Amino acid sequence: MHVLNVVGARPNLIKIAALSEEMRRFPEIESTLLHTGQHYDDNLSRVFFGDLGLPSPDIYLGVGSGSHAQVTAGVMVAFEKELAACRPDLVVVVGDVNSTLACAVTASKLGVPIAHVEAGLRSFDRRMPEEINRIVTDALSTWLFTTERDADENLLREGIPSEQIHFVGNVMIDTLLRYKDRALHTQVLDRFGIEAGQYAVVTLHRPSNVDHPDLLRAILGALGQIQERLPVVFPVHPRTRARIEAFGLTGQVDALPNLHVCEPLGYLDFLHLLARALVVLTDSGGIQEETTILGVPCLTLRENTERPVTLTQGTNRLIGSDPERMVIEFERILSGDIPQGHAPELWDGRAAERIVQVLLTDRSVK
C-alpha cells in the first residue's frame, strides 16, 4: 500500500509526525512525505523536522506564500504533476490549511482516494477560510478520522455515511505526549529570564484579529496592561509581524518592557513554554487542544471554536477579541478562577495507531 502523506504548514507537521512514524512500523506500507512549501520559513517548517524526527520530505513543491487563491492554485498545479507521476493508493491530508484543500481537490479529480485526519471540526463560521477548507475536504474524503464525538455528529448531519467516519482520537496529542518530557528539558525559560508558572504566552495570526488596524492596536493595548502584571512571551507569526509593521504599531510593541517578542519557536521550545505557563492567550485551534492536555488555562481570542470539546472538557475559555474582556479574563486567572479540565476521550497517544489499523484492514485500499 503506497500512502502519500501531505504537509503544508507548521501544524500539519505536528500531526503527521506520529502518523508517519506509525506507518514506518509496517513493511506493507510504503509511505511518501510531500511538503507543499506553504510554510517555508525555517521557524515555521524546517526546524520542526529536526525537533520531531521527521525524515526530509521525499517531495517538496516549494509553493511559498501568497493570497488564498495563489497558494491553492499553486499547490494544485504542482501537486497534480507529482500525483500523476507516483500514483499512490491513497493521499492522507491533515488539518484545514489551504494545502489540505488543494491536495484533496486535486486527488479527487484524479481518482485517488483521500483520508482526512482531523475531519468534522466545524466553527459554523464560513467567513473563516479554514471552515471552507474543512467542509470541502470532508466532502471529498473516503476515510474521515475524527478527534471528538461532536465531529462525528457534524459529518453525519452533512450526509457522510457512518461507515466512512472513524473516531480515533487526536494525532497532535500523540506527538505532544511523546515529546513532552524531552521538551521540558530545553532551556527556553532561561532565554527569556522567566520562571515556571510566572508568565503568560500569547499567539496571534488570524485575519479577524490582525488584519484590522484599530483592533490590533487595541489588542496590543490589552497586552500592555497584562504585561504590567506578568511577563508575556509573544512568538510573532510572520503574518502578524507584517501587519504590526504595516499599521505602524512597532513602536507600541517596543514600548512594553515585559512583553518578550520573538520569532516563532521550534516545537520542543514552544511545548515547554506552553506547559509551564500560567495562562495562554491565543487564536490558534491546535493550542486550544494542547493546553487542554497540559492542564494550562487557555483564553481563546475568537467568537467561535471548531474544537468545542476543549470548552466542555478542557481548560479553554472562549472570550472573543474585546480587549477589555481580555484583561478581565486574565485577572480571573490571576485571582485563581482557573478552568479545570481533563483529557477528552481517546486523547491517549494512540490515535495514529488506530488510523493505520483502519487503513490496513479496509479492503477498499489496495
What tens digit of pLDDT does each residue of 271-328 get?
A: 999 999 999 999 999 999 999 999 999 999 999 999 999 999 999 999 999 999 999 9
C-alpha cell belonging to residue 195: 520562571
Report, as an integer, the average pLDDT of 220-231.
98
Q: Which residues, listed in sequence order, are joined to residue 188 by a DSSP beta bridge?
A: none
| Alpha-helical regions (H) of the chain | 10-23, 47-52, 68-86, 98-109, 129-140, 149-157, 171-183, 188-192, 207-210, 213-229, 238-246, 250-254, 267-275, 285-294, 309-312, 323-334, 351-361
**86 pLDDT tier (thresholds 50, 70, 90):** very high
Does this chain's domain 2-169+350-361 share its CATH topology with 180-334? yes
Asked whether 102 and 79 are in contact (CB, 8 A), the reply is yes
DSSP letter at 6 equals E
Task: Give the chain's length.
Answer: 366
**The one-letter amino acid at 307:** R
Asked whether 113 and 365 are in contact (CB, 8 A), the reply is yes
| CA 90 remoteness from chain centre | 23
**The one-letter amino acid at 218:** A
C-alpha cell belonging to residue 24: 514506518
Which is nearest to 87 in space by CA: 1, 7, 206, 158?
1
Tell me the C-alpha distance between 222 and 161, whole Å: 46
Q: Which residue has the higher pLDDT, 44 or 131?
A: 131
**54 pLDDT tier (thresholds 50, 70, 90):** confident
Active site residues: 205
Residues 6 or more apart in contact with residue 157 via CB below 8 angstroms: none
The predicted-structure confidence for 148-179, as pLDDT tens digits, reads as follows 999 999 999 999 999 999 999 999 999 999 99
**Domain spanning 2-169+350-361 has what CATH number?**
3.40.50.2000
What are the sequence ranges of the domains in the chain?
A: 2-169+350-361, 180-334
pLDDT at 43: 52
Among 52-61, 232-241, 294-303, 335-344, name the one with the lowest average pLDDT. Answer: 52-61
Judged by DSSP in three states, 299 sits in strand
Tell me the C-alpha distance between 34 and 27, whole Å: 20
pLDDT at 362: 87
CATH class of 180-334: alpha beta
Tell me the C-alpha distance between 143 and 224, whole Å: 46
Q: Is the pLDDT of residue 123 over 80?
A: yes
C-alpha cell belonging to residue 266: 521550534
Q: Is the pLDDT of residue 45 over 70?
A: no
Judged by DSSP in three states, 151 sits in helix
